[in-house]
Structure 1
Amino acid sequence: MLIFCPREIQSVGQLFKRAGLALLEAKRQRDGEPKRFCAVLEQKLEEDITLERELRLAIDSGALSLHLQPQVGAQHEVIGAEALVRWHHPQKGMISPGRFIPIAEHTGLILPLGAWVLKEGCRLLGEWQHDTRLRDLKLSLNVSVRQFQQPDFVEQVTTTLRATGAPPERLTLELTESLLMSDPEGTIDKMQRLRQLGIRFALDDFGTGYSSLAYLKSLPLDTLKIDIAFVKDLTLDMQATPIAATIIALAESLGLDVIAEGVETADQSTVLARLGCHVYQGYFFSKPAPAAEFARLNSDSSPTAS
């Protein structure tokens, strides 16, 4: 609930403007807690509206880009990458995904944004097939709840794969626990249909949600990703190590691979290896790099493992 105080208004035009902004914010709230509409909130809403308009233009004009963060194996060899969308604004510079992704989710722009990421990611996979040192790499793409729940999502993926020549067995779709729990039957059906194409699935940020272990067993997953929160505290928090060990053991019992994300130090890598995790992603190995730079670096390096 938003508490709107019109006594601060100095003109009829300002009254209508604030009323519209207050209504917009009230629709976006989910916690139900009373909040007072004030100048600070007004400024934030105006910035969001401007950013929404500019993001829409950025998607339509191709102003976004994909940066790739390597995923490495036990010998620190690159075996794949996760694609991360980046937006370099012509005046504001690089805008954090943490800033524009929530806006995209609130406004529905997450659908055209997700479609662009899927198309661009598959285009890269298709291009990699012409390079002997890139063709065996896997590429992971994040899929939002709203995007995956589209009735024709399987058809969208199928059409994109055919148009780009991307090998489906090299594509991994990263899903969240919230998606898996929102529509269990529909999610499993779509996953199975996509699995028939050869596509792989990873459960992102595992351990931060509320998924049932019994339900997890029924999903056609390939990989669990240990959330960065657990990896970060491996050498600092006594409770983090057993949590990571439990996730790794669970993955092994289900016949799943496991990837630790957010690895930033050699000590974290060492602890993870000792626990049985042998695939890593994080700044210790590489920051996300523009797709062209990632391709150049890995084309110039020794052959990678598949």
Structure 2
Amino acid sequence: MGQAWRDVGSVGMLTVIGCFTDQHDLRLVGLAAAICAIAALTAIRLLRHAGSAGRTRLTWLVVAAISSGTGIFATHFIAMLAFQPSIPSAYDHGLTLLSLVIAICLTGLGLRVALLGTQGASWLGGLVVGLGIAAMHYTGMAAFEVTGHLRWNPAVVAASIVVGELFSAVALSTAIRSRSLTSLLASAAILTLAIGAHHTIGMAAVTITENPLATLSPHAMSPTWLAGAVALASLAIFVLTATAHALSLREQRRVHGETERMRGLANAAVEGLIVVDGHRVVTANVSFGRLVGLADAAVAGLPVSTFLTEANAWQRLACAMGQPVELGLRHAAGEIIAVEAILRRIDFAGKSHQALAVRDIRERKQAERHIQYLAHHDALTGLLNRTAFNAVLDRAVAAAVETGASIAVLCLDLDRFKAVNDLFGHAAGDAMLARVARCVTGLLGPDQCMARLGGDEFAILMDGQAGPDAAEDLAKTIIAALAAQASDRTADAMVGVSIGIALCPQDAMERQDLMVHADTALYRAKADGRGTYGVFEPEMGIAVRERHGVERDLECALARDEFHLV
């Protein structure tokens, strides 16, 4: 770079960057860089501590502002002390002090903004810190006095400000986004780069023009005194660095102790429990790991979406904060586990997190399904019960009436079943009912269903254009199949089956009437000799009503003592 002074007539001009090797003490330049790096690392550490300090946040923000502001100030003026021009120079007391105050205040404001927690706050805070670096630098340069004049290149000045702003924004964004050691070192390095790059580019913007007639202010501070002030500032930085390191160690011990305590409590819980930061699992208890088929340590660090089967499950949990939500949990083997989950906000390791508690409800769901099954099915045979059959028949009758299709109902009653119960016991009777159900259901088609109405009474619905011929064919098949089954069993050999058939809409257009008519046909079949079937005919209804009338008359006569022996 050679001689940085250029003679223009009798006047010399000096470019500061142009004389970097000739008129800079490189040892002081290295010291400035070291002070800058230490101050940046300290500021980031204190910023993180302030973020988790709760009620003492403001105090630690002030300490972080002093560290960062003093670091910027010390870096600038150590670098200025490293600059050794061949003309007299000094520093204005007031402007030098003002530059320190500006650095502390603006960087403190930027750090406060970065901790707001809103979207883009860390970037905005970084821009404010970059503004503080620029304001301190150019206020400090305004305090610089020489026997000459300083001339600035506006484009280079603007470039120095933009570069400082950009690097500062990236530094604070990196520091806030993650609390890892890598993030700490990266953000401190970027902030160091912001300060150093701004200073270097800013100094490239200035040219000193010698003026032999110019004099220094008698009250200006000499470089020697400035060195003392900078030494005090550097000492303050080292004190704050030691404080930040001690705080960091204490915070690590506190977080470790809190983590171990919470892990112990969590592992004692039956429910699965994970602590989530953002959308990533921080820690999990043993029960959760067992539930998803992973070690609890393997769960930590995974996205919570790894275990949620629904895309909007996390949104559902957040909307129902503190309330139970049923959802699916994905097992490592691919199985979907039904769980009841509750999401709550907690303070963990000095920071707000979400705690997700999950309870395995597979057994409860299975019990609910069983109860639902029993509400519509017969416990002994597994067939539909009377309530469920009536509901199915109601729908079938309504459809048949609307479309004109034909359906058939077959009522079945076991002959001499009471005798089997009396001779062989109820267990044998129950076994016989189960065998009858299995035998008959094996004969039914896809549009046919069977129900146990109670005791030894059964009913079959034939849907899908079931005419009288098809109903009679099915009745014959059932009677033959049960007779064949009974041939090799003593108890079954005593029992036959009688069947009554009624059709809709031919015989009735209401469920109740259809069942009554099928029952009427059944009793006609029993009267005709058992082990056979009967198809409802209108005359049967008349005969039944007449018989019922005679029965009522006889009962009334008996009650009124109207019978006489002749």
TM over 0.5: no
Q: RCO higher in 1 or 2 (8 Å CA, sep ≥ 6)?
A: 1
TM-score, structure 2 length as denominator?
A: 0.15
Which has the larger Rg? 2
